[in-house]
Chain A
Amino acid sequence: MKVNDIMDINKIRKDFYVLNNNDLAYLDNAASTLKPKQVIDAVTYYYEKLGVNIHRGVYRLSYEATDLYEKARQKVAELLNCQFEEAVFTRGASNALNLIALSYGMNHIEEGDEIITSELEHHSSMLPWQNVARAKKAKLVYVPLNEENKITVENFKKVLSNKTKVVALNYISNAMGYMTPVEEIIKLAHEKNAIVILDAAQAVPHIPVNVKALDCDFLAFSGHKMCGPTGIGVLYGKYNLLKEMEPIEFGGDMIDYVGLNEVTYKDPPYKFETGTPIIASAIGLGRAIDYIKAIGFKDIMKHERMLRDELIDKMSQIKGITIHNPNTDTGIISFNINGVHPHDAASVFDEENVAIRAGHHCAQPLMHCLNEIATIRASVYFYNTREDINRLVKAINKAKAFFENFM
């Protein structure tokens, strides 16, 4: 099967300046994706034609800026299948996950309560709850990972208890590309009256996510991992939860009435969007959502999985490398070249203009599970081609041969 059978990849690639201006195999999409010109144009439109603040301005430019900002929220709501009021703009997934912990967590967790998370988490999913657990003398409980370092329903059941108040897990692992069996975990957690927070930073850009069908309580993602600008992300929360939660930042725009000794806040989402929001980036995210939807998640998934299968097949034929997740569910592949430190390998890849990531991927507990200081991670998106895969394989072989000289 050819790449072009799934989508018109060459046409898509023309939208990305970075691909046009560089001879680059860009395979670091789990860290950040490239931005198409449509998104850049949407951001530029705001700065060139509007450039003013939103919400309270009683003049045309402000009205149009407000309209674009709120339309972007509507696009997020349609993407996730949630209500308009349930989509809070944040600085990114990390910011959203911290907001939940600082507001919901600090007000609901008590001494002796249990919070379930895992060693597969990005630090941003796990550390906000480590902080809450420390402050409230609650217990942080880790789902035991299976032999492939996956989260399973069976192992989740082992740690779920009547003391469980919060479950904070990734939807797709940023370091291993595994899909967590969230549907069943959410059902089980709700039976114990625990709430479930999903770190969906690696999910929303790649698969259709329906928060109503999932019935998760909170979910977070970042714009820049789905062709949007940096500095914008989304917190989804069930309306009744958002409504009773306290804001964590106070100031402009989030208030209803302010007296000298009392204040009332706006309803969600506005009570969590203090100060002038990230207007241009929100508008850019809205445009990115349109762009991705036009390609379609069905084709995106099909294309990414085709590239993954090809990469794993080719890498399996290279001796002397360890693939940590040969059964990855997505286009994220984590590996090491035996005997070569990932940063040494990364410099060879850099010389070959193959952009990958070498490091702990903000998942140090997982590195301990893998018994590695760091790994090399390649991650694909819809604009990647078989040529990119071939260039990565060539770079792996080159790195191997290069360092074997010194052994």
Chain B
Amino acid sequence: MSNLENLYRQVIMDHYKNPRNKGLKDSEEYYSVHLKNPTCGDDLTIQIKVEDNKITEVYHDGTGCSISMSAASVMSETIMGMNLEEAKKVINNYVEMVKGEEFDEEMFMGDAIVYQGVSQFPARFKCATIAWKALDKAISNHENCSHRHDEEKIEVK
């Protein structure tokens, strides 16, 4: 498989064309985080609902490239039903994976593993992680009981 085929796996393009859990809910029950990458125009909002320390609902909406949009869909499926501690471990593990560093393959359930190919395209790291960064922020906002609605920009690196 070429680097490119490895980056754009069928499953990624499937999540891009047919995103799961897309569309936001108009309710105060959710913690939402809106992230923008001003350099490329990616614009993503994610919402989570936490009940008994467990993520019971995840939604996302936004515009951007196939990597960033599909990753939001995959993230929503991956972490649905996880408790917050598990979710935080998965986020870290995912970030290590797309950076090309050592990670725990066993930890992923579902499609997140296919983003391994991103490590060969460092310029796409931010695309692959924007949804997961938003999730991380939403979890910490929940834990600190702050910001039900958060707006942030990804810093240019």
Question: Which residues of A line the B interface, CB within 8 A?
Answer: 341-344, 346-348, 350-351, 358-360, 367, 373-374, 402-403, 406-407
Contacts and interface: CB of A to CB of B under 8 A. Distances in A.
Interface in B15-42: 16-17, 39-41
Nearest to A351: B4
Give me the 10 closest cross-chain CB pairs, A-B, nearest first.
A406-B13, A341-B65, A343-B65, A373-B41, A344-B65, A351-B4, A344-B66, A374-B41, A347-B121, A343-B40
Contacts of A342: 65
Given A341-B64, A343-B124, A351 B41 contact: no
Contacts of B2: 351
A301 to B, nearest CB: 32
Contacts of A402: 4, 8
16 contacts: A341-B66, A343-B40, A343-B65, A343-B67, A343-B127, A347-B121, A350-B121, A351-B3, A359-B39, A367-B41, A373-B63, A373-B64, A374-B40, A374-B41, A403-B8, A406-B13
Contacts of B121: 347, 350
Contacts of A350: 121, 123
B40 A347 contact: no
A406 to B, nearest CB: 4
Contact of B40 (A348, A359, A406, A407): A359
Given A341-B66, A406-B13, A347 B41 contact: no
Contacts of A373: 41, 63-64
Nearest to B16: A406
Dominant secondary structure of chain B at its interface with chain A: helix
A348 B8 CA distance: 10
Contacts of B63: 373
Given A341-B66, A343-B65, A343-B124, A348 B4 contact: yes
Interface string B114-135: 0000000101100100000000
Interface string B50-73: 000000000000011111000000
Contact of A344 (B3, B39, B67): B67
B10 interface: yes
Contacts of B97: none
Contacts of A358: 40
Nearest to A343: B65
Contacts of A407: 17
A374 B63 CA distance: 11
Contacts of A406: 8, 10, 13-14, 16-17
A346 B7 CA distance: 13
Q: Which of B14, B63, B123 has the most CB of A within 10 A?
A: B123
A359 B41 contact: yes
A343 B8 CA distance: 12
Contacts of B40: 343, 358-359, 374
Nearest to A340: B66
A346 B66 CA distance: 12
A346 B4 CA distance: 11
Nearest to A359: B40
Contacts of A367: 41
Contacts of B67: 343-344
Contacts of A343: 40, 64-65, 67, 124, 127
A343 B118 CA distance: 13
B44 to A, nearest CB: 13
A362 to B, nearest CB: 10
Contacts of B17: 406-407
A360 B42 CA distance: 11
A168 to B, nearest CB: 22
Nearest to A346: B123
Contacts of B8: 344, 402-403, 406
B41 to A, nearest CB: 4
Contacts of A346: 123
Nearest to A373: B41
Q: Which of A367, A373, A403, A407 has the most CB of B within 10 A?
A: A373
Contacts of A360: 41
Contacts of A374: 40-41
Nearest to B64: A341
A356 to B, nearest CB: 12
Given A343-B40, A406-B14, A406-B16, 16 more contacts: A341-B66, A343-B64, A343-B65, A344-B8, A344-B65, A344-B67, A347-B7, A347-B121, A350-B121, A350-B123, A351-B2, A359-B39, A360-B41, A367-B41, A374-B41, A407-B17
